[in-house]
Amino acid sequence: MLLSIIVPFYNAEKHLERCLNSLINQQLNAVDYEIILINDGSTDDGKLIAEKFIKKHSNIVLYNQNNCGLGASRNRGIELAKGTYVYFIDSDDYLAHNTLHIILNYSIKYDLDLLGFSSIQTSRLDLNICKSNNEFLNIEVLKGVDFLVEHKHLNLGACWYIIKKDYLINSRYKFVEGKFFEDVVFTYNIFLHAERSLYLPIDAHRYVKVLESITNNVSQNHLNKVIQDYISLVYRMNNLITEIPIKVSEKHLEIVDNIKFKRSVIIYFMFYKMIRSNMPIKRIDTLLKGFEKIEAYPLSNFIGDQYYQKKFKISVYIFNNKYLFYLFLYPIRLLNRFSLIKLL
């Protein structure tokens, strides 16, 4: 078997059918790939939708489990996978038609550890046609370190690349379990150690921003959970930084700088989560002091070619002057509560 597609889902009855239809509408023989569905304790009709597809398609299998989260579900999918290559996709996203066979063929042809490709963020649910012409010139296989330098703005989500299973197993890297943002450090690690990687400019993936996604949930319990997972991610990224041998080459130093930039982005958007939350100033001050100790705060490398507009410069100035931030915090919270201002 050539490919295993791992699709964890939890209460995804609104999206799962679209996702699965997109995985079936590929120019691949059913015997060459499998779709592994991990039902992560759903309480809606997602399981029934999955079972309907299983009856029609022999290459779709379903595994049910108690709710463990996305990281644990992906790790279980890796253990179950039979394909030479593994691909992860979220149940609320989908693929453009007839793109997966191109990605798989290039992966096999060049014996790749990893192949990255493009994604389009959209609210449309019918963006099925790929814009790429499927004729790719100047193909260059790179070591993972070179890949990270060449494609430093590539998204760090696990849905934007496929992985050779043997490489993944031998690397022993797994998704962190029980936390959001489970794929950031995972992605850095597997690219850092890859020998053969390639970026293919084919817009295969559709990232659908849905209202009920974790990034849009504004309940206080959820906000506090997200903030805690942001904090955990910042420290895991710091551990990753300390493990990279920057003396080996300037490329490693560039990667460290890029990780520091990504870390600043995470902290920047965490500030907005803290504004929406009921986290007291004393708790915020404690965590910012912790960030100061690892030189992750103040945000020194956030403003640049991606975030350069005046609104970012003003907000970074306020965030970096924490006593000024504390002064504005409660008035901003009050205005936000009554929808008098719009936060990011």
Tokens of 333: 């919270």
A 10 A CB-CB count for 34 gives: 21
pLDDT digits (tens, 9 = 90+) for 193-246: 999 999 999 999 999 987 655 555 568 898 999 999 999 999 999 999 999 987
pLDDT digits (tens, 9 = 90+) for 251-286: 999 999 999 999 999 999 999 999 999 999 999 999
Host H or E run for residue 145: helix 144-150
Identity at 208, one-letter amino acid code:
V
Helix-, strand-, coil-residue percentages of the chain, each rounded to 5:
45, 15, 40
Fold annotation for 3-208: Spore Coat Polysaccharide Biosynthesis Protein SpsA; Chain A (3.90.550)
In the Cβ-directed half-sphere of 178, how many Cα atoms lie within 13 Å? 2
Tokens of 38: 């991990």
Coil, strand or helix: which one is 95?
strand
- In contact, 191 and 197? CB cutoff 8 Å: yes
- In contact, 284 and 177? CB cutoff 8 Å: no
* pTM reported for the whole predicted model: 0.93
Identity at 137, one-letter amino acid code:
L
In the Cβ-directed half-sphere of 277, how many Cα atoms lie within 13 Å? 19
Which regions in the chain score pLDDT beneath 50? Answer: none
Identity at 315, one-letter amino acid code:
S
pLDDT at position 242 is 94
Q: Mean pLDDT, the chain, as a whole number?
A: 93
* Cα(91)–Cα(6) distance, integer angstroms: 10
pLDDT at position 212 is 55
pLDDT at position 154 is 81
